[in-house]
Amino acid sequence: MDSAAPAAGFLYWVGASTVAYLALRLSYSLFSAFRIWGMAHETEVGPALGEWAVITGSTDGIGKSYAEELAKRGMKIVLISRSQEKLKEVANEIREKFKVETKTIAVDFGSVDIYNKIRTDLAGLQIGVLVNNVGMSYAYPEYFLDVPDLDNIINKLINVNIISVCKMTQLVLPGMVERSKGAILNISSASGMHPVPLLCVYSATKAFVDFFSRCLYAEYRSKGVFVQSVLPFFVATKLAKIRRPTIDKPSSKTFVKSAIKTVGLQHRTNGYPVHALMGWIFSVMPSWLSLKVSMSLNKGLRARHLKKSKKT
């Protein structure tokens, strides 16, 4: 019996330490959540950082909502997207509603020979905020080898989701560093927090955006530039193919209004209280379980898409 006492004591302290660690982690998470979501505060995202805000993928969804929110704060807006017609429409809306100057650049981020044009069009502008929002995903969840037009999809996902973030940052960051102020907001995805089967290339590209942002934050925060990785779950947008907002799938306007308040407070954020809770749940979930949940969800979405396709 005496020989069992040391082992029992060891197990007791292991258990007590584990409980204490989990309690401290939960307390810290609750405190952080209250500080960010429960306390009234306003970020200094606006003309004080620089006159102009540049937003990619800005004619719809999250990108358009960031453009409107920044214009509301008095910033001049550069809209970059593929369709000149849509760009002109959104630019006119913002100019008339918020009484700020706007500029448009029509380019296809699926190509890699566009950045000299963007550099020329941005020359001379004092850019305070860059929102790297442009992105693309699969048409529907699918096994890697069965993704339609796989070669083209691989190239486009890398060009749009990865190359654009690096190249736009390369164009804008030097001016921010020179003035010792600025903010770069990189729109990643909750799919970049953990591997997501049946969206493997998309998930991997968004993980790159998250890691790239975290590295940049560490490199440039001492130089006055705040870099943020934004990791939303589902938002009611055309890209997500969700029409009606719900409490866990907010409209892009609701999401951005919430997310922009985290600038300066969180360099890595889910951007929205319910999404933050979902992110915390996934963070404490065993990796095998999160993979199983994601696989099950996407198998269901895949089956529904294929069934619908057969009917049409």
Over the range 193-214, which residues count as b (16 or more CB within 10 Å of their CB) and which as e? Answer: bbbbbbbbbbbbbbbbbbebbb
The confidence score (pLDDT) of residue 238 equals: 76
> What number is the average pLDDT over the span 193-203?
97
Rg of the chain taking only CA atoms, in angstroms: 22
Whether residue 271 lies inside any domain: the answer is yes
**Considering the domain boundaries, does residue 71 fall inside one?**
yes
- 140 counts as catalytic: no
Mean pLDDT of 273-299: 94
Domain assignment of residue 1, yes or no: no
The answer, yes or no, to whether residue 279 has pLDDT greater than 90, is yes
298 contacts 290 by C-beta, under 8 angstroms: no
With bands split at pLDDT 50, 70 and 90, how would you rate the model's confidence at 248?
very high
User: Count of domains in the chain?
Assistant: 1
- pLDDT at position 137 is 95
- With respect to residue 244, please indicate whether it lies within any of the assigned structural domains: yes
pLDDT at 58 (0 to 100): 94
What whole-number distance in Å separates Cα of residue 106 and Cα of residue 126?
20
| Average pLDDT, integer, range 158-169 | 98
Exposed, middle or buried, 18 (CB in 10 Å: 0-12/13-18/19+)? exposed
Q: Residue 93's domain is classified under what CATH number?
A: 3.40.50.720
Q: Has residue 51 been placed in a domain?
A: yes
* pLDDT for residue 3: 54
Per-residue pLDDT at 23 = 67
| pLDDT band at 39; cut points 50, 70, 90 | low
Using pLDDT thresholds of 50, 70 and 90, give the confidence band for residue 301. very high
Catalytic residue among 115, 202, 220, 272: 202
* DSSP per-residue codes, 122-172: HTT--EEEEEE------SS---GGGSTTHHHHHHHHHIIIIIHHHHHHHHH
Domain that holds residue 118: 32-311
Phi, psi at 207, each rounded to 5°: -65, -35
Say whether pLDDT at 10 is over 90.
no
**CA–CA distance, 152 with 148 (Å, rounded to integer):** 9
Among 42-56, 89-103, 139-153, the minimum mean pLDDT is found in 42-56
Q: What is the mean pLDDT of residues 36-43?
A: 59
Can you give the pTM of this predicted structure? 0.87
